[in-house]
Amino acid sequence: MPHTLIRGGTVVGPTGSTLADVLVDGEQVAALLRPGDTSLGADLAQDAERVIDATGRYVIPGAVDCHTHMELPFGGTAASDTFETGTRAAAWGGTTTIVDFAVQRTGERVQDGLAAWHEKAAGQCAVDYGFHQILGGVDDDALKAMDELVTEGITSFKLFMAYPGVFYSDDGQILRAMGKARDNGSVIMMHAENGIAIDALVRQALDRGDTAPYFHGTTRPWETEEEATHRAIMLARLTGAPLYVVHMSAKQAVETLARARGDGYNVFGETCPQYLYLSLEEQLGARSEEWGDFEGAKWVCSTPLRSRAEGHQDELWRYLRTGDLSVVSTDHCPFCMKEQKELGRGDFSKIPNGIGGVEHRLDLLYQGVVDGKISRERWVELCCTTPARMFGLDGRKGVLAPGADADVVVYDPAGRTSIGYGATHHMNMDHSAWEGFEIDGHVDLVMSRGRVLVEDGAYHGSPGHGQFLKRGLSAYLR
Ligand code: DUC
Ligand code: ZN
Ligand code: ZN
Ligand code: ZN
């Protein structure tokens, strides 16, 4: 197999940074060679077919985005990135693994929902991919299917406390699924918002004539997130199941989670760049010539953006430092303004929920390093290592170590990245939620299983390079 040597960079991992060369043999990392190393690997490095000079730059594991929604059916339309376009955009941004959500529609067999997702993704992906399974209802068949799916490498299941009538599970269903997860070692991922209360608030707002996009946020107040988070934690405590709360945005909800973690419960939280950087106030003030005050539809997602005046963003950064938030994912769920978000003109409740960001997470979080909010080691841990370990990919993804897949990013801390639509992105969207963001840092080179996908601003990937990942159980089970 051909050898590639990535030479002279600073290898950054969750526990430290060190000057080292990375020797890649075929699809895997063969060795990390520190200056002066005289091992067998050092001999092999002498004969490497290809040498990549990473001097002055960071060499990190390919990033792992454990929360994406390619082609998700939602609100009468579907997320605008296919597995082909979405994974290409991921690669451009240094993400070499995604874990997407297969959907069981209510009334459908779980296995049929999963099969449909395999069909969408097979042969299309530029980077490796796995699936979580969304359960569109919990009954005896679904509980049996959970056992079957675990043996097929689908080791996490998402339930919704929001969206009554669509994805929603009631507390009894949640309790039963959690009991199964406790028994078979899978993880329950929870969309924690009180959807019954939210639907009533939405109806009241629309009756008042409050129809603009901003009211999406005001009708999903933090109390509805905190209450659902608390309830999910209590159900997890009752059953002894591990719990992973997705896309947390309210500081009060994370505080509740942090308390449960302090009490020793096996519960985890995830947030997303939009909740760290964007705010409800900015959504309220958003106007454009093209869209007027409907401009705010670009930032309609659930959970919603939170108030900066209330300090949610600063608190989320703090919880990333304390470790109470374990992962940053994107919840990549893109919809175009034209013909998609537009469906909600005159009624915010009909705006498809979601923000596209699979391309930008590594850069956006690196800005947090530059701004002194997290260390560069924590950056790698949040974007690469912990998501891999959380979802059964440890040893293979999210680390640079002998035997791991050679998924590598060469990151230039002195580089610069302009993100947004005007600055061009590669996601299939007609706008960007990140228009005008300037990042101090740049993804220079991206390698997936030994193959260079992105280098010097050029794309060398192809659909079908990415393989399905049969995941193991979470490293965080106990
Ligand atoms: N939240 C979103 O913003 N989009 C898709 C589903 C979800 O939970
Ligand atoms: Zn070899
Ligand atoms: Zn969700
Ligand atoms: Zn989601």
Return the ligand number nearest the Cα of 27.
2
In angstroms, what is the span from residue 342 Cα to ligand 2's centroid?
A: 53
Query: What does the pLDDT read at residue 10?
Result: 98
In angstroms, what is the span from residue 126 Cα to ligand 3's centroid?
A: 24
Which ligand 1 atom minimizes the distance to the CA of 354?
3
For residue 274, give every residue at least 6 positions away whose Cβ sits within 8 Å of its Cβ, in sequence order, or none. Answer: 299, 301, 305, 331, 355, 357, 433
In angstroms, what is the span from residue 420 Cα to ligand 2's centroid?
A: 41
How far apart are the C-alpha atoms of 381 and 100, rounded to whole Å? Answer: 20
Return the ligand number nearest the Cα of 66.
4
Q: Each residue of 300-352: pLDDT tens digit? A: 999 999 999 999 999 999 999 999 999 999 999 999 999 999 999 999 999 99
353, 358, 429, best to mutate for ligand 1 pocket (most atoms within 8 Å of CB):
353
Return the ligand number nearest the Cα of 300.
1
Answer for the pair 430, 337: CB distance below 8 angstroms, yes or no. Answer: yes
Is the CB of residue 103 below 6 angstroms from any atom belonging to ligand 1?
no
Which ligand 1 atom minimizes the distance to the CA of 300?
3
Answer for the pair 10, 17: CB distance below 8 angstroms, yes or no. Answer: yes
* Whether complex ipTM tops 0.85: yes
In angstroms, what is the span from residue 321 Cα to ligand 1's centroid?
A: 25
Is the CB of residue 302 below 6 angstroms from any atom belonging to ligand 1?
yes
166, 331, 335, 351, best to mutate for ligand 1 pocket (most atoms within 8 Å of CB):
331
Amino acid at 310: E
Query: What does the pLDDT read at residue 1?
Result: 66
Residues of the chain with pLDDT under 70: 1
Is the CB of residue 426 below 6 angstroms from any atom belonging to ligand 1?
no
For residue 437, give every residue at least 6 positions away whose Cβ sits within 8 Å of its Cβ, in sequence order, or none. Answer: 277, 360, 364, 418, 419, 420
Tokens of 62: 């390919």
* Nearest C-alpha neighbor of 460 from the set 472, 471, 470, 450: 450
Cis peptide before 4, with omega less than 30 degrees from 0? no
161, 247, 249, 298, best to mutate for ligand 1 pocket (most atoms within 8 Å of CB):
247
Pairing of strands 408-412, 442-448: antiparallel
In angstroms, what is the span from residue 72 Cα to ligand 2's centroid?
A: 41
User: Taking the complete model, does pTM exceed 0.95, yes or no?
Assistant: yes
In angstroms, what is the span from residue 3 Cα to ligand 2's centroid?
A: 6
Nearest 5 degrees, angle CA 112-CA 114-CA 117? Answer: 115
How far apart are the C-alpha atoms of 73 and 220, rounded to whole Å? Answer: 21
For residue 268, give every residue at least 6 positions away whose Cβ sits within 8 Å of its Cβ, in sequence order, or none. Answer: 242, 243, 244, 245, 257, 326, 327, 390, 476
Answer for the pair 371, 449: CB distance below 8 angstroms, yes or no. Answer: no
Is the CB of residue 79 below 6 angstroms from any atom belonging to ligand 1?
no
Helical (H) or strand (E) element with 411: strand 408-412
* Nearest C-alpha neighbor of 109 from the set 134, 142, 133: 142
Is the CB of residue 330 below 6 angstroms from any atom belonging to ligand 1?
no
In angstroms, what is the span from residue 308 Cα to ligand 3's centroid?
A: 22
> Which residue puts its alpha carbon closest to atom 8 of ligand 1?
302
Q: Given phi > 0 = left and psi -120 to 50 = alpha, else beta, which region is 398?
A: left
Which ligand 1 atom minimizes the distance to the CA of 301?
3
Answer for the pair 225, 312: CB distance below 8 angstroms, yes or no. Answer: no
Q: Is 304 helix (H, G, I), strand (E, B) or coil?
A: coil
Considering only CA atoms, give the Rg of the chain.
22
Amino acid at 88: R
